[in-house]
Amino acid sequence: MNAHQLPTGSAYFIAPETAKAENHTLSVLVSNEPGVLARVIGLFSGRGYNIESLTVSETEHEAHLSRITIVTRGTPSVLEQIKAQLERIVPVHRVVDLTVRAQVLGQERPIEREVALIKVVGSGEHRAETLRLADAFQAKVVDATVEHFILEITGKSSKIDQFVAILKPLGLIEICRTGIAAMNRGPQGM
């Protein structure tokens, strides 16, 4: 190994160069208790794995369970390693690779949605164009003054990316995105 091939602290150097990195959506059911999210995130940062998107919320109040949805990128072997390491964390009850499950069920991807709040400032023609585009993208106006709009849009990340790109020249000044919530199609639960 020469100086140009030295591995960094990233786990992505573990996989052979022939393996193609892919985005996968993982759903992790955990106990809703202090420090669990920090332990899950610590696993990623400690091993050099990147998180593309992260959402977490309590989903079963009586059972005190939360669902963490993580979009990460890696080769198949790295993704298996992530899943195995997540399963070893004590308050983790279940880890499901929704991307793999979708493929097993004969589907391209799991259902993935994101919510974004987008603030646009403008007047006159830009204001009218912003409203027209909001209607075309099925975005809702959730706040408005004579100087600005705050729009709410729900959909695939690619739809939100496209909407944001179109709004940039019209006075877009702020974006807040939730991250991806995901679930597989069909009657089975996680």
First-residue to last-residue Cα distance in the chain: 43
pLDDT at position 123: 85
Question: Taking each helix axis from N to C terminus, what angle separates 157-167 and 124-136, rounded to the nearest 10 degrees?
Answer: 170
Given the DSSP bridges, would you call strands 111-121 and 65-74 parallel, antiparallel or unpaired?
unpaired
pLDDT at position 189: 87
The helix (H) or strand (E) run that includes residue 85 is helix 76-87
Rounded Cα distance between 127 and 64, Å, is 45
Q: pTM for the full model?
A: 0.81
Rounded Cα distance between 5 and 13, Å, is 10
Q: 93 with 27: CB under 8 angstroms?
A: no
Q: 147 with 121: CB under 8 angstroms?
A: yes
* Residue reference for tokens 């005190």: 64
The helix (H) or strand (E) run that includes residue 126 is helix 124-136
Rounded Cα distance between 34 and 105, Å, is 35
Per-residue pLDDT of the chain in tens (190 residues, 90 and over written 9): 444 444 455 555 554 456 788 999 999 999 999 999 999 999 998 888 999 999 999 998 889 999 999 999 999 989 999 999 999 998 999 999 999 999 999 999 999 999 999 999 988 899 999 999 999 999 999 999 999 999 999 999 999 999 999 999 999 999 999 999 999 999 988 8
Q: 142 with 176: CB under 8 angstroms?
A: no
